[in-house]
Amino acid sequence: DAGVIQSPRHEVTEMGQEVTLRCKPISGHDYLFWYRQTMMRGLELLIYFNNNVPIDDSGMPEDRFSAKMPNASFSTLKIQPSEPRDSAVYFCASRPGTGVGNTEAFFGQGTRLTVV
């Protein structure tokens, strides 16, 4: 398997524009996570899905952020409108399922977002 695939790797956009980040989890994984990494706040969990259903979105900063998982092989994180403070590296991760043998998350390479 190619691992968790995120696109684009880099995104530069102007303030006010809509930004969509994409993620393809590892095939067969039941859980998908979106994290944001900044120098100030470290790694923050934004939202996670189980079997395509959002389970916990308490980390989503505000209504400008939305995430969807229309099927088991694709998820998007959308920011509309974007602001300079949204600049960060956004990671997607997936996990096989529950149980002792399926405890770790596998991370993508991340999308570095810069809002100017």
Partner 1 sequence: AQSVTQLGSHVSVSEGALVLLRCNYSSSVPPYLFWYVQYPNQGLQLLLKYTSAATLVKGINGFEAEFKKSETSFHLTKPSAHMSDAAEYFCAVSDRNSGTYKYIFGTGTRLKVLA
Residues forming the site for partner 1 (CB under 8 A): 4, 31, 33, 35, 42-43, 45, 48, 50, 55-56, 91, 93, 95, 98, 100, 103-110, 112
Q: In terms of DSSP bridges, do strands 74-79 and 88-95 run parallel, antiparallel, or are they unpaired?
A: unpaired
| C-alpha span between 69 and 62 (Å, rounded) | 19
Please, what is the minimum distance in Å from the beta carbon of residue 81 to partner 1? 27
72 vs 81, beta carbon nearer partner 1? 72
Please, what is the minimum distance in Å from the beta carbon of residue 59 to partner 1? 9
Q: In terms of DSSP bridges, do strands 10-13 and 111-115 run parallel, antiparallel, or are they unpaired?
A: parallel
81 vs 89, beta carbon nearer partner 1? 89
Residue 29: which of 113, 114, 99, 109 has the closest Cα?
Answer: 99
43 vs 116, beta carbon nearer partner 1? 43
15 vs 55, beta carbon nearer partner 1? 55
* Cα 57-59-63 angle, rounded to 5 deg: 75
In one-letter notation, the amino acid at residue 87 is S
